[in-house]
Structure 1
């Protein structure tokens, strides 16, 4: 009887840990909540993130030069089962349809999303430097050549 109880307790513990792992896949995204900026001579890049619930984060990314918005993107990170998707929608690109990037790697310092079918970007990396500093790295193929851009962002 004691052995059966111990086995049952062990199985319940293992199963509850697996459920916690599934629920925690977006925990690293908590660090993104807020407004991030990269100001340069080329313009001002802004990314804003908020948490909708435990499985969905929404955001916007835009690039402004002088008073002109040169790029505007709605973004979302969402967990569906065991999978985390980074969803990007840029008006005027991809027939106005969202592009999905799958979370392929995560740790305390970064989130890595990939969509190998897309030319550019194929990969999006959020690399945390400090609590108010991160680097966003996008890479892929542009005009037939490998291309990579990095944006150092400060939390506002």
Structure 2
């Protein structure tokens, strides 16, 4: 075997080993988000609702309430792209979409980042148990004064309606 052939084989082995060591993130780890989540300490209906996982996508919406009125909303999409990237796309209060790429995904936590966005630059979802979760938005430099926490608990979807 020539040195050139040996080097080519070695390079192929290294590339294969690296690819096996770093599999792409899988959206299946986030299937636990499906359902309705009430923000702790907030009026009924303030929180997030996520669809079930289908076609490599989860769809979500959030709503903020004050004095019985909606004061903020957001539409979200979690999508596993063909290239393996897992992306959270957020459309807050009717503004343009912003994409956040997954930087860490496992069965209990998902971290998404977009350093080019002004705020937030990082979004975290963490499952505490079957009934409790915690979301956090922050700047990527870990400045605790520029972070907002959203503790929440699972509730039945389709609760009472109010016409106020």
Which category of TM-score, normalised to the shorter sequence, fits these structures?
0.7 to 0.9
1:135 aligns with 2:137: no
SS state at 1:97 partner? coil
Higher relative contact order (CA 8 A, sep 6+): 2
Structure 1 runs of 4+ with >3 Å offset = 41-44
- In the TM superposition, residue 44 of structure 1 has moved relative to its aligned partner by 5.7
Of 82, 85, 88, the residue aligned with 1:86 is: 88
Tell me, in whole angstroms, the C-alpha distance in 1 between the residues paired with 2:137 and 2:67.
Answer: 24
Q: TM-score, normalised by structure 1?
A: 0.75
Q: TM-score, normalised by structure 2?
A: 0.72
Query: Compared with structure 1, are the counterparts of its residues 49 and 106 closer, same or farther at alpha carbon in structure 2 (3 Å cutoff)?
Result: same
Distance between the aligned counterparts of 1:145 and 1:35, measured in 2?
A: 28
Q: Distance in 1 between matches of 2:90 and 2:137?
A: 13
Q: Deviations over 1:93-113 (max 9, x none)?
A: xxx210000011011210000
Aligned residues: 132
Residues 25/120 of structure 1: CA separation in 2 closer, same or farther (3 Å cut): same
Aligned counterparts, 1:1-156, within 5 A: 25-40=26-41, 45-51=46-52, 53-81=54-82, 82-92=84-94, 96-140=95-139, 147-156=146-155
More strand by share: 1
SS class of match (1:120): coil
- Contact 1:43 1:66 (8 Å CA) reproduced: no
- Over aligned residue pairs, what C-alpha RMSD do you find? 2.5
Which runs of 5 or more structure 2 residues have no equivalent in the other structure? 1-15, 156-164
Unaligned runs of 5+ in 1: 1-13
Q: CA 1:41–1:84 in 2, change beyond 3 Å: closer, same or farther? A: closer
What is the alpha-carbon distance in structure 1 between the residues aligned to residue 32 and residue 144 of structure 2?
A: 33
Contact between 2:38 and 2:44, CA under 8 Å: does it hold in 1? no
Larger-Rg structure: 2
**SS across alignment from 1:31:** helix
